[in-house]
Amino acid sequence: MRRLFAAIGTCGLAVGVAGGNPPAPVSPAPGANVSTGAPAVPSRVAQLIARLGAEDFRDRESAVAELEKSGPGAIPLLRDATKSDDPEVRRRAAGILFRLERNVDSAALLVPKKIALAYRDTPLGSAINDLKARTKLNLALDTTRIADPLRKVTCVTAGEVPVWEALEQFCAAAGLREAHRLELDVPKQQPQGRRVYVPPPAPPAPDAVPVVLIDGSGERLPGARDSAVRVLVMPRKFPGHRVTLGTGDTTLCFDVAPIPGLNWQDVVGVKIHKLVDDAGRTGGAGTARPFAQGNGEFEGVVAWGGGMGFVGGGFGRFDPRTGMPIPPETLPNPRMVSVPLKLGTPNARTLKRLEGYVLGEIQVPNQNLITITNPAKNTGTAFDGAGQTRLTVMAVGEPKGNAGVTVQLRLEYPSPWAVNARRGFNPGGIWPESPRATQTPTVQAYDASGKQMLTQRSTGDYNDSSDDGTMMFQHITMTFRKDAGAPAKVVLVGPRPVIVEVPFVMENVQLP
């Protein structure tokens, strides 16, 4: 089985909201550097925003370039500019706002954990167990490929280093290397009868794929190890690489590995903005179509990320006795991403320099997706939120008998199956894979003082889904105590999809 890659459009990155309250960028983690340029001066930002609608194209482009360097301080004014009467200002401001918020989110979410190693004549097994406990990485020794699992290891780092760099230094000191895999073995399943088919398990989350260590002292792979997500180019003879002789079309496999607990969902794409081969010629992204979003933001985005399913869109083998499909023996490794490149020199053997970044999606849990103030005055109005959510106040009822105010809501959100299909986790065959567990959005109510109101009774019924199964429709009825009154606002809380970028600068990349 091999990954299939498709062009991606802006719909895969649309995580902003319409109708009132766009989600704020993720709060920076302690120690995070969120600066993306010089501090923004409000008056200067306002002048630059006004130039986004200038008659001279060069003036508009110059304003865009300067605003992109203005840092997070420009975000509030850019949000206002997305409501401008000038469509050119709205379009350009939205693109700049998206990139600045992505920079803030990336800096907050990708802060690497740092540790110091001080192993001196420590048994290999003990050192691995300690490293696994401190880094939370899913480390595993393949004992069949370890000559002496009782050998002593000495590894002392120069102070604290990022987790992925600590692992690299440990492997070099211990004479280990990582066994990178294009595909993962599927556990054998017990037959359930002649006519009962058991679908294969869904691919694991990228952070659940074990980091398997074996004996070896291979060269240090080019990549980026200074954030919470490691990006490596696989060795020259890795089976996932592809070359079309004489054309310069080359596909390299990247290993994109997040640390556990990041809620990393998948790779959205890879942007290449500098490629220089060993003859000094420049190249760029491969033949996959780039994003369609304006300002050249996604020119050079070359691949949709992990789990693109099975070649042929289904099963290729069937049991001749039962006629049932035979489950595959392997699944694609969700950490492996194929990146097509176009070389300036078709027979180049090395890339002197390769620069770009990986775009990835992270689900940030328990975020305020939609806020509706004064529900009684917003009856019948649909409010759109992040992650294709929508909340509508259908009715606000007066107290009756012993019951208080009743608020009826209609909630719409993508089904887990649709979320997985958008990320490419559906083989498109006879048997769809089980969806990954996702957090279902919930509704909370607050009084005028901002205190959360307790409901006397709350019911929610999944009464329908769209014809194609992509959206879930839920009717929610919230009944409050008679003395509580009507809520001042209702808030939809759930996971917010965030797009982050992991930059990489690689030198001396060996080509297949």
What is the C-alpha separation between 461 and 480, in angstroms, rounded?
18
Amino acid letter, 109: L
Phi-psi region of 159 (alpha: psi -120 to 50; beta: other; left: phi over 0): left
Angle at 331 between CA 430 and CA 222, to 5 degrees: 140
Task: List pLDDT tens digits, range 162-171.
Answer: 999 999 999 9
Span 357-377, average pLDDT: 92
pLDDT value at position 430?
A: 35
Q: Which of 109, 143, 176 is the last residue of a domain?
A: 109
Min mean pLDDT across 40-44, 455-459, 479-483 is at 455-459
Span 13-31, average pLDDT: 49
Min mean pLDDT across 26-30, 184-188, 346-350, 377-381 is at 26-30
pLDDT value at position 85?
A: 93
What is the C-alpha separation between 511 and 350, in angstroms, rounded?
5
Task: Give percent of the chain above pLDDT 70.
Answer: 74
Q: Are 461 and 330 in contact (CB under 8 A)?
A: no
Domain that holds residue 393: 363-496
Strand spans (E) along 320-470: 330-332, 336-342, 350-373, 382-385, 389-397, 406-414, 442-446, 455-465
399-415 per-residue burial string, b: 16 or more CB within 10 A, e: under 16: beeeebbbbbbebbbbb
Q: Does residue 24 surpass a pLDDT of 80?
A: no
Banded model confidence at residue 431, pLDDT cuts 50, 70, 90: very low
Q: Does residue 439 surpass a pLDDT of 80?
A: no
Q: Does residue 11 surpass a pLDDT of 80?
A: no
pLDDT value at position 42?
A: 81
455 falls within a domain: yes
This prediction has a pTM of 0.79
95 three-class SS:
helix
138 falls within a domain: no
Question: Of 503 and 202, which is predicted with more confidence?
Answer: 503
103 falls within a domain: yes
Task: List pLDDT tens digits, range 109-146.
Answer: 999 999 999 999 999 999 999 999 999 999 999 999 99
Task: Give percent of the chain above pLDDT 90.
Answer: 55
Task: List pLDDT tens digits, range 77-115.
Answer: 999 999 999 999 999 999 999 899 999 999 999 999 999
- In terms of average pLDDT, the best of 6-10, 459-463, 498-502 is 498-502
User: Widest CA span of the chain, in angstroms?
Assistant: 84
331 falls within a domain: no
pLDDT value at position 5?
A: 36
Contacts with 512 (C-beta within 8 Å, 6 or more apart), sequence order? 236, 237, 238, 241, 242, 243, 250, 252
Question: Of 288 and 62, which is predicted with more confidence?
Answer: 62
Q: Which of 109, 136, 153 is the last residue of a domain?
A: 109
Q: Which of 50, 79, 109 is the last residue of a domain?
A: 109
Tokens 């917010």 sit at which residue? 496
pLDDT value at position 441?
A: 85
Contacts with 421 (C-beta within 8 Å, 6 or more apart), sequence order? 470
Span 353-378, average pLDDT: 93
Span 319-347, average pLDDT: 82
Q: Which CATH number fits the domain that encloses residue 55?
A: 1.25.10
466 falls within a domain: yes
- Count the Cβ atoms, other than its own, within 10 Å of residue 271: 22
Task: Count structural domains, the chain.
Answer: 2
Task: List pLDDT tens digits, range 230-272.
Answer: 999 999 999 999 999 889 999 999 999 999 999 998 898 899 9
405 falls within a domain: yes
Strand spans (E) along 211-349: 211-215, 223-224, 229-233, 242-244, 249-258, 264-277, 284-285, 330-332, 336-342
357 falls within a domain: no
**The token pair that represents 243 in the structure block:** 């070359």
Across the chain, what does the average pLDDT equal?
81
Taking the mean position of all CA atoms in its chain, how far away is CA 501? 9
pLDDT value at position 218?
A: 73
